A and B are shown apart, each in its own frame.
Chain A
Amino acid sequence: MISDWNSMNTLKELTKKQKTKLFKIALAFGLLIIAVLLPLSGWIALISFLPAYLIVGYGTLKSAITNVFHGEVFDENFLMSIATIGAIALGEYPEAVAVMLFYQVGELFESYAVDKSRKSITSLMDLRADYANLLTDGHLIKVDPDDVAVGQLIQVKPGEKIPLDGKIIAGSSSLDTRSLTGESLPRDVETGDDVISGCINVTGLLTIEVSKVYGESTVARILDLVENASDKKANIETFITKFARYYTPVVVIIAVLLAILPPLMIPGALFSDWIYRALTFLVISCPCALVISIPLSFFAGVGAASHAGILVKGSNYLEALAQVEVVVFDKTGTLTEGTFQVSGIYPTEAFNKESLMELAAYAEHYSSHPISASLRNYYGSTVDPLRIAEAKELPGHGVEAWIDGKQVLAGNVKLMKSHEILNFKEGLTGTAVHVAVEGIYAGHITISDQVKVDAATAIAGLKAFGIKKTVMLTGDHPEAARQVSASLGIDEFYAQLLPADKVEQIEALLQETSEKGKLVFVGDGVNDAPVLARSDIGIAMGGLGSDAAIEAADVVIMTDEPSKLNTVMKISKKTLRIARQNVLFALGIKFGVLILGAMGIATIWAAVFADVGVTVLAIINAMRALTVTK
């Protein structure tokens, strides 16, 4: 990113206005050198510098005059004009031209740098497809994605980006979702699956029926969200804005005082000397560096986050993420997969794990219950339907089947009791499938909700970050909650909560956090709207394809990985650090040069650096927020 600023393409990227400015600067610079080298003095010297001065200064002078008439006195144009005219009056001709020249250079660089940064940031989220292949009457026509209507068919060839949201009606492939999720693992899709715009089709040809027009597609919504994130300003931004409003008038007033008072009060003080010092003040009076680099840092931070698959809806949220004290997690679907998985097989002495599993899988073969699905998945091998003579589903109890001619029961404790099976395992707190063959207990299989693979690293990461407390809320029963909480190292958990209880719990936790500390809630967005709203920062996971999640939360993690929370907090801290660096740097240099200028040590050249140079450096520093170290 920064490295491509050095390429020869730079000239081609300038707009017409910028090219004209560059030309004027070059011309004026040339004339300045000539004028400096000519051994002239007095009136003729002044005239030799005038062309250079007017070439770079005319626009500024003109704006200064029109702006004063509009009522805008304390603006850059006016101040630069006064400063340079003052310099000319003092006979400092090269300085006058130089100030105008460097002011123009600064302006040009600023507009180029901001343009370039903007492009860098938006290109990171290279989500938009330039065209869509519309399938009409058997022909493929290349059209603008904007022109495709709902219900029309498009084709996406391998290597192409999916331009619109829709459903696959023919073909299967694997998709690269990197631009949306930051994930490098491809997702397999087949006919009947819904796909999202922004993904790259990797292997197979896909025919897709469009379900949303471009304006409402996932890509459009994401780009919109990221752009509008700059609307919600961070506290440091509003501080700088307020500061800038006072800074300029104060510096100008001091400049005026500097020009007038010391010469009148201190015996032997030269008027010209003090006016020169006052001029340096005028040159530094513009707070540009601060005012442009802070929003730019946050824009870069938001861009970096979305490249990692995390949508931050406001710069204020990005800032707040660096001040988190408490993180509250929802359990099911957030820290756990939300699906059922076989977690343990406990056969009785007469049986073994394989036979128990086989019995359960065969018995549940025709059942549509989610638990049956987990048993079948775990079993893995193909079931020979000929071995199953009959299978009966007993709602609320389980199934009864005849396998290899023997009666097999698979279900819960109620099933065992109603069939008078003896010696079955009682008092289990989790979900279990008990199996009995011909009236004899064969053992049980425990089913649990799997903890996500990266949940433990996520929690460990939060602790390493210095988060004061991690909390888990769930509607599930206490034993299941305790197990998950203990295995992940979570500080507190609250179980068997109804939705209203969750909000209450958040309120209680909010009371405990300090003034500046923030409380984050992480959930799946769908059922957690009130809780998300109540917390300082609401984070929804699994945003990919979930409109509800994107709407409800302040931050949306496109994948299902809790560890992304750590990533966004890292980005947040880095962005805030860069913003603070810029504030300290800009203010430090400016005040330093102001003081030195008042003492007569700093020249106008130093003042120009304090203005232009600092702006340039601050912008470059702001761009560092774009890189994320994993």
Chain B
Amino acid sequence: MKHTYKLEDLCCASCGNKIEKALNQLEGIQDVHVNLMAQKLSFESELVDLDPVLLQIKKIIRKYEPDCNLLI
């Protein structure tokens, strides 16, 4: 199933790319796209409980773009 979230205040393109690369390495999610123009994060996942992976995603985002918020 495809999931989409808004990435508030994502403005650095190279950070976006780094985030996308790092997120693609995470288990449980595939086909990760960080869309700078639309400020959106989307990925495919078969997981029923997304909370643990969302926590990891938030951590990675904070590492590269501390100002950026993941809106659920």
Residues of A within 8 A of B (CB): 17, 63, 66-67, 70-72, 76, 110-111, 114, 118, 121, 227-228, 230-231, 241, 244-245, 287-288, 291-292, 295-296, 299
> Is the beta-carbon distance between B37 and A227 smaller than 8 angstroms?
yes
Q: With the chains together, A76 CA to B62 CA distance in Å?
A: 16
- Closest Cβ neighbor of A289 among chain B residues: B13
**B50 within 8 Å of A by Cβ?**
no
Task: Tell me the nearest residue of chain B to A107, going by C-beta.
Answer: B11
* Residues of B contacting A291 in the complex (Cβ-Cβ under 8 angstroms): 12-14, 17
Q: Could you tell me if B37 and A118 are in contact, using CB atoms closer than 8 angstroms?
A: yes
Contact A72 B17 (CB under 8 A): no
**A110 surroundings in chain B (CB, below 8 A):** 11
Q: Is the CB of B12 within 8 A of A288?
A: yes
Using a CB-CB cutoff of 8 Å, which residues 1-60 of chain B contact chain A?
Answer: 9, 11-14, 17, 33, 35-38, 40, 42
Which of A67, A227, A241, A292 lies in contact with B35, CB distance below 8 A? A227
Whether the Cβ atoms of B35 and A288 lie closer than 8 Å is no
| A227 and B63 in contact, given A114-B11, A241-B17, A288-B13 (Cβ under 8 angstroms) | no
24 A-B contacts (beta carbon < 8 Å): A66-B66, A67-B66, A76-B12, A111-B11, A118-B37, A121-B37, A227-B35, A227-B38, A228-B42, A230-B37, A230-B38, A231-B33, A244-B14, A245-B17, A287-B14, A288-B13, A291-B13, A291-B14, A291-B17, A292-B12, A292-B13, A292-B36, A295-B13, A295-B37
7 smallest CB-CB distances across A and B, nearest first, come from A291-B13, A227-B38, A299-B37, A231-B33, A230-B37, A292-B13, A70-B63
Contacts of A67 in B (CB 8 A): 63, 66
Residue of A nearest to B60 (CB): A70
A-side contacts of B11, CB under 8 Å: 110-111, 114
Which of B9, B42, B63 interacts with A72 by CB under 8 Å?
B63
User: Chain A contacts of B38 at CB under 8 A?
Assistant: 227-228, 230
Q: Cα distance A114–B11 when bound, in Å? A: 8
Question: SS class of chain B's interface: helix, strand, loop or mixed?
Answer: mixed
CB-contact partner of A63 in B35, B36, B37, B66, under 8 A: B66
Count chain A CB atoms within 10 A of each CB in B36, B37, B63, B64 and give the residue with the most.
B37
Q: How far is the CB of A249 from chain B (nearest CB, A)?
A: 12
Q: How far is the CB of B15 from chain A (nearest CB, A)?
A: 8
Residues of A within 8 A of B66 (CB): 63, 66-67
A227 with B14: CB separation less than 8 A: no
Q: Which chain B residue lies CB-closest to A247? A: B14
Interface size in chain B (residues, C-beta < 8 A): 18
B13 to chain A: which residues have CB within 8 Å?
288, 291-292, 295
- Complex CA–CA separation, A17 to B35 (angstroms): 22
Looking at chain A's contact residues, the main secondary structure is: helix
Chain B residues lying within 8 Å of A295, measured Cβ to Cβ, are 13, 36-37
For residue B36, which residues in chain A have a CB less than 8 angstroms away from its CB? 230, 292, 295
Q: Say how far A186's CB is from chain B's closest CB, in angstroms.
A: 32
Contact between A231 and B17, CB atoms less than 8 A apart: no
B12 surroundings in chain A (CB, below 8 A): 76, 288, 291-292
**How many angstroms from the CA of A292 to the CA of B35 in the assembled complex?**
12
Chain B residues with CB under 8 A of A287: 14
Contact yes or no, A72 B35, CB < 8 A: no
Please measure, in the bound complex, the distance between the C-alpha atom of A277 and the C-alpha atom of B33, giving whole angstroms: 39
In the bound complex, do residue A288 and residue B37 qualify as a contact, i.e. CB atoms below 8 Å apart? no
B24 to chain A minimum Cβ distance, whole angstroms, is 13
Q: A288-B12, A291-B12 given. 6 additional CB < 8 A pairs?
A: A66-B66, A110-B11, A121-B37, A228-B35, A231-B42, A292-B12
Complex: chain A residue closest to B17, CB-CB? A241
CB distance from A304 to the nearest CB of B (A): 14
B3 CB to closest chain A CB (Å) equals 13
CA distance A296 to B36 in the complex (A): 9
Instruction: Tell me the smallest distance from the CB of A526 to a CB of chain B, in Å.
Output: 26
Q: A72 vs B14: C-alpha distance in the bound complex, in angstroms?
A: 13
Residues of B within 8 A of A17 (CB): 9, 67
**A286 to B, closest residue via Cβ:** B14
User: Is the CB–CB distance between A71 and B35 below 8 Å?
Assistant: no
Interchain CA distance A227-B67 in the complex, whole Å: 22
The answer to whether B14 touches A231, judged by C-beta atoms less than 8 angstroms apart, is no
B42 to A, closest residue via Cβ:
A231
Instruction: Collect the chain B residues with CB atoms within 8 Å of residue A230's CB.
Output: 35-38
Chain B min CB distance to A523 (Å): 27
Most B Cβ at <10 Å: residue of A114, A118, A244: A114
| A227→B40 contact, CB < 8 A | yes
Closest residue on chain A to residue B40 by CB atoms: A227
Nearest residue (CB) in B for A298 is: B37
Known: A231-B42, A299-B37. A71 touches B63 (CB 8 A): yes
Residues of B within 8 A of A288 (CB): 12-14
Q: How far is the CA of A244 from the CA of B17 in the complex (A)?
A: 10
- Chain A residues near B67 (CB, 8 Å)? 17
Nearest-Cβ distance from residue A467 to partner chain B, whole angstroms? 30
Chain B residue with minimal CB distance to A69? B63
**A289 nearest CB across to chain B (Å):** 10
CA distance A110 to B12 in the complex (A): 9
Minimum C-beta distance from A86 to chain B (A) = 23
* A231 and B63 within 8 A (CB): no
A121 — which chain B residues lie within 8 A by C-beta? 37
